Amino acid sequence: MVNARDDLDARFFAGAGAPPVEWVIADAPVSYPDAVAEMDARVAAIAEGTARERVWLVEHPPLYTAGTSARAADLVDPDRFPVFDSGRGGQYTYHGPGQRVAYVMLDMKRRRQDLRAFVAALEAWLIDALWQFHVRGERREDRVGVWVRRPDRGDGAEDKIAAIGIRVRRWVTFHGISLNVEPDLGHFSGIVPCGVSDHGVTSLVDLGLPVTLPDVDVVLRSSFETVFGPTVDADDRP
């Protein structure tokens, strides 16, 4: 099993001497256009050296987003929820209540200017967080994201539990990850999630774990620090 705590590259992206990353949790659902506007402003400030790096945890109302590789045929039900062009990499994905979205705004110039390694670090973060709930998340060489095997559904069956989609501007990352905690999994049926039609989607609650978003937030923060280095609450200042 790949586990961030055992991965030789686990602290690959911990910026040596960089200030702690701000950790912010939205206290109410955030519209997708507002999230993008906020990320755009923060990324510009980070690139200019006037703001800290930030991880922003949000929950969205039900919606679909299209990445830069999205195929029109994968939008199965275009009238079901609002659809937004995201500018991130990847294809169609769903966001909605019960899903934790983490927007990750890091300055790769302080860390390592390697996009493939950054995606692997995001996967390591998620895999480590899932393992704290005794869920074995796995990478796939041909599919971005984190997957869990479902032997209860047949030989070779597996479901996606977390998605990854990033964008980089001036070597500052934005967009990020989404982890299914307790979303309505039926909402994924309006798209072909991430362009993968021969595997399903799952969530922590679907796997039989009675966890909440606050439970997951605590674990995500601990695991993030394992991979990327220390964090600080947004209201704290040195």
- Is residue 47 a known part of a binding site? no
11 is in an annotated binding site: no
**99 in a labelled binding site:** no
Per the annotation, does 88 bind a ligand?
yes
* 15 annotated as ligand-binding: no
- The answer to the question of whether 176 is labelled as a binding residue is yes
Tell me if 103 is assigned to a ligand binding site.
no
Residue 163 is labelled as binding a ligand: yes
Q: Is 91 annotated as a binding residue?
A: yes
Q: Is the C-alpha dihedral spanning 73, 79, 81, 87 positive or negative? A: positive
Q: Does residue 194 carry a catalytic annotation?
A: yes
- Does 90 show up as a binding residue in the annotation? yes
The DSSP-derived string for the chain is ---TTT-TTTTTT--TTPPPEEEEE-SS---HHHHHHHHHHHHHHHHHTSS--EEEEE---SEEEE-TT--GGGBS-TTSS-EEE--SSSSEEEE-TTEEEEEEE-BGGGS---HHHHHHHHHHHHHHHHHTTT---EEETTEEEEEEE-GGG-TT-EEEEEEEEEEEETTEEEEEEEEESS--GGGGGGB-GGG--SSEE--TTTTT----HHHHHHHHHHHHHHHH--EEETT---
Q: Which of 194, 196, 204, 207 is catalytic?
A: 194
Residues of the binding site: 88-95, 163-165, 176-178
Residues of the binding site for substrate: 88-95, 163-165, 176-178
State the catalytic residues: 194
